[in-house]
Chain A
Amino acid sequence: MFESLDATLLARIQFAFTVSFHIIFPAFSIGLASYLAVLEALWLWKKDQVYMDLFNFWKTIFAVAFGMGVVSGIVMSYQFGTNWSVFSDKAGPVIGPLMGYEVLTAFFLEAGFLGVMLFGLHRVGPKLHFLATFMVAFGTLISATWILAVNSWMQTPAGFGMNEAGQFIPLDWWKIIFNPSFPYRLTHMVLAAYLTTAFVVGAVGAWHLLKNTAPRRSRTMFSMAMWMAVIVAPIQILAGDAHGLNTLEHQPVKVMAMEGHFQSHPDGAPLILFGIPNTAEKRIDYAIEIPKLSSLILKHDLNAPLAGLDTIPDNLQPPVAVIFWSFRVMVGIGFAMLGIGLWSLWCRVKGTLDSSDWLHRAAVLMGPAGFVAVLAGWITTEVGRQPYTIYGQLLTVDSISPVAAPAVAASLIAFIIVYFLVFGAGTFYILRLMKRLPRDPMPDLEDGPIRTAAHTHAGHAHVGHTHGSAHRGH
């Protein structure tokens, strides 16, 4: 099956495969950790049991997703060495310390407080428990900051020099961390994680509203999620636009590929909405385009000239078709998210947020949209950087380990089988947990006064932990 593939291509496929699986979990757990912190804060503040019930419900789901994020992340941190050893040797002095700080400031923090957050409520009491939840959420954000500094430095390297051994050596850490694309990428990715989670929470709430299983809880989470959608989606579109302008400045070739501009346009470039990139003929077939709009968006001037891929040697161009499509998928989902947000706002004003079946159906459908957008965004970013691993400095073909193709092929096959089995099972369990909102984990208790009474006698420090074996979520 893999005879015709060389070790470089196999290693690229392997990296893309494992990191794509990995990013799905952080995208969810960054958002969900913050959501859990908000839920617990609301519970402490308003003393309304509905928040603690939601907290416990999402906490179990979080635990499963977080576990998958951890094990897939450990694979990532070793993959740089196994498959990209030349890259590691050369770039290690610059990116290594940043990832070192990620471990020291973020991973230990998350891991240290995760145990307390999951198992420790009745041992440490509500206040310290909230601190633990907050620390976990804070840790996920610190983690994103460092790893995105690393990735952004690879996109827009700054603040470095070279030594005789051919290594990148740090000259100015401030410039390395706050490299030109970092603030944009960090903002865009964190917002992406929040949106992704909001749409998952919204879909689960909407699904249970449709089934009318636990109205109070599902209403609360649906409403919270829709507020997120209506507030964050427009911000994300603005952030994405700013990110694109930054990319135009520092990685113009990537933007040419995203826009599908094979030709240069000396007096105003069109915005190509859709079309089929034809790489062989270097044009977009069946293009639907709006004249001059691309120049307006990117240069704020209808007639500004925009260079195209015809100004770039073939061997330094990224694969256009992939980027062209992945970019449109992301942007399309971004506007669809905005649409749902506005629709929900309209329903809210009319007072039909809880009863509009069509809104609920649409929200269920949009549940996985964030993951698709995140993957599409990363594919745009990463494929658009080709043929470099460190943009303009180190080619992908020069980054590879001296490992034989059969070794890479064998490990790739092993990863594919294991990931689909293990993460497939995990996704199945998560979906099942989501489905079990009303009956599990408290089968005998329904929404309403009975439930509240049952909890008052248990006392606040015991909430969620008093159910013993009846609590086991099978």
Chain B
Amino acid sequence: MAIDLPFIWAAIIAFAVLAYVILDGFDLGVGILFPFFPEKHDRDVMMNSVAPVWDGNETWLVLGGGGLLAVFPLAYSIILPALYAPIIAMLLGLIFRGVAFEYRWRTKRGEFLWNWAFAGGSMLAAFSQGIALGALVQGIPVVNRAYAGAWWDWLTPFSIATGFAILVGYALLGSTWLIMKTTGKLAEKARWIALRTCFATIAAMGIVSLWTPFLEPIYLERWFRWPTAIFSVIVPVLVLGCFTLLVSGIRGKRDAQPFLAALGLFVLGFAGIGISFYPFMVPPSVTIWDAAAPDSSLSFLLVGALFLVPIILIYTVYAYWVFRGKVDPEEGYH
């Protein structure tokens, strides 16, 4: 058998989306937490903690979208019209929060506006991403290589639930990031928030996980039939493990542990969704192989990706390394 290019690409795209979710997740989370930190000085530090890296984090979203167009054009052209409203809302949210990084320092009188843009934009983007996830999980009707539903089909109680789940999940990532990167009262408050959002995140994961199998018969089968049912045991156990590390890290004042444990939670949640989805690209009818571009497209981009993604990871790590350690409250070029 030849190399299964569509499968490899599905794995790469999944990796890009996961990288996006955990990386932009924490900087969106910092934005979501803005309203809880009314003091200007705290907000300056919070923003400076993510300012050097947010653009790189968001580039994974462009890779996820652009990559989908390149290697699964059919999936791209079905999913985007189906999720039209949440995608547009996400883009608008990202505009507001993205420009706030610069605008906020350019005006005294208008600063409150860009504080709101940063917080509101981050919340809108996170919530829309959650809704998009929910709408994808609940399935998209396809006829003749095109989306066959109406333009508000994405709106269901389930997708609203996933919207809130992502919102609290990102808030957890943001607060654990702040524990790691800041000091003093700001870090104390982040601990307080992290302790609460981690319970909320676990609850949200539980609700969504219990709900999912009842949306599509395939998911039910996947989770309760041998051999895939092993995952139904393993994943929750690992989730509990991460959760314990998270709580003990927050309580025990180990600064990096909560963030890493929260990343673990996200990876597990993502793996859970992946297990439900496989082998579909657009549940419940379009598989990875239906959606794939011809092999000539897949192999052309794969050569570059195998070579470039490791390089990207190296200089991304370098960029994080340059800005390692606690944020110095007096620093920043602003």
Binding site for B on A (CB under 8 A): 59-60, 63-64, 67-68, 70-75, 77-78, 80-82, 85-86, 88-97, 99-105, 107-116, 118-120, 123-124, 163, 165, 167, 169-171, 173, 401-404, 406-407, 411, 414-415, 418, 422, 425-426, 429, 432-433, 464-465, 468-469, 471-474
B107 in contact with A429 (CB, 8 Å) = yes
B301 in contact with A82 (CB, 8 Å) = no
B287 at the interface (CB under 8 A from A): no
Give CA–CA (A406, B65) in the complex, Å: 24
Looking at B55, B63, B330, which has the most chain A CB atoms within 10 Å of its CB? B55
Q: What chain B residues lie within 8 Å of A415 (beta carbons)?
A: 92
A118 in contact with B293 (CB, 8 Å) = no
B315 in contact with A71 (CB, 8 Å) = no
Binding site for A on B (CB under 8 A): 51-53, 55-56, 58-59, 61-63, 65-71, 73-74, 76-81, 84-85, 87-88, 91-92, 94-96, 98-99, 101-103, 105-108, 110, 145-148, 150-151, 293-294, 296-297, 300-301, 304-305, 308-309, 312, 315-316, 318-319, 322-323, 330-334
Give CA–CA (A406, B152) in the complex, Å: 12
Give CA–CA (A474, B98) in the complex, Å: 20
Q: What chain A residues lie within 8 Å of B53 (beta carbons)?
A: 115
A103 in contact with B66 (CB, 8 Å) = yes
A75 in contact with B80 (CB, 8 Å) = no
A88 in contact with B323 (CB, 8 Å) = no
Taking the closest CB of chain B, its distance from the CB of A449, in whole angstroms, is 26
Taking the closest CB of chain A, its distance from the CB of B38, in whole angstroms, is 20
7 smallest CB-CB distances across A and B, nearest first, come from A92-B73, A81-B80, A96-B70, A115-B52, A85-B77, A89-B77, A93-B293
Find B71's partner among A96, A105, A169 (CB 8 Å cutoff): A96
Taking the closest CB of chain A, its distance from the CB of B259, in whole angstroms, is 19
B62 in contact with A107 (CB, 8 Å) = yes
A113 in contact with B103 (CB, 8 Å) = no
A111 in contact with B322 (CB, 8 Å) = no
Taking the closest CB of chain A, its distance from the CB of B77, in whole angstroms, is 4
Q: What chain B residues lie within 8 Å of A101 (beta carbons)?
A: 301, 304
Find A99's partner among B66, B148, B151, B319 (CB 8 Å cutoff): B66
Taking the closest CB of chain B, its distance from the CB of A134, in whole angstroms, is 13
B73 in contact with A97 (CB, 8 Å) = no
B52 in contact with A120 (CB, 8 Å) = yes
Q: What chain A residues lie within 8 Å of B147 (beta carbons)?
A: 85, 401-402
Q: What chain B residues lie within 8 Å of A104 (beta carbons)?
A: 63, 304-305, 308-309, 312
Q: 22 A-B pairs, CB-CB below 8 angstroms? A: A78-B65, A86-B146, A89-B145, A90-B73, A100-B69, A100-B70, A100-B301, A108-B63, A108-B316, A110-B55, A113-B315, A115-B53, A119-B332, A119-B333, A120-B323, A173-B300, A401-B147, A402-B81, A404-B151, A418-B95, A418-B96, A472-B334
Give CA–CA (A474, B74) in the complex, Å: 49
B300 in contact with A170 (CB, 8 Å) = yes
Q: Smallest CB-CB separation from B97: which chain A residue?
A: A71
B63 in contact with A74 (CB, 8 Å) = no
Q: What chain A residues lie within 8 Å of B71 (beta carbons)?
A: 96-97, 100
B59 in contact with A108 (CB, 8 Å) = yes
Taking the closest CB of chain A, its distance from the CB of B242, in whole angstroms, is 29
If A82-B81, A116-B322 touch, whether A97 touches B65 (CB-CB below 8 Å) is: no
Taking the closest CB of chain B, its distance from the CB of A419, in whole angstroms, is 8
Q: What chain A residues lie within 8 Å of B322 (beta carbons)?
A: 115-116, 120, 123-124
B56 in contact with A111 (CB, 8 Å) = yes
If A67-B102, A111-B56 touch, whether A82 touches B84 (CB-CB below 8 Å) is: yes
Looking at B71, B99, B331, which has the most chain A CB atoms within 10 Å of its CB? B99
Q: What chain B residues lie within 8 Å of A403 (beta carbons)?
A: 81, 84, 151
Q: What chain A residues lie within 8 Å of B102 (beta carbons)?
A: 63-64, 67, 426, 429
Number of A-B contacts (CB under 8 A): 254
Give CA–CA (A465, B330) in the complex, Å: 11
B316 in contact with A112 (CB, 8 Å) = yes
B99 in contact with A96 (CB, 8 Å) = no
Taking the closest CB of chain B, its distance from the CB of A104, in whole angstroms, is 4
Q: Smallest CB-CB separation from B316: which chain A residue?
A: A112
Give CA–CA (A468, B312) in the complex, Å: 32
Q: Smallest CB-CB separation from A433: which chain B residue?
A: B106
Q: What chain B residues lie within 8 Å of A464 (beta carbons)?
A: 333
Q: Smallest CB-CB separation from A170: which chain B residue?
A: B296
A78 in contact with B80 (CB, 8 Å) = yes
Taking the closest CB of chain B, its distance from the CB of A2, in whole angstroms, is 15
Give CA–CA (A308, B71) in the complex, Å: 41
Q: What chain A residues lie within 8 Å of B63 (beta carbons)?
A: 100, 103-104, 107-108
Q: What chain B residues lie within 8 Å of A73 (beta carbons)?
A: 62
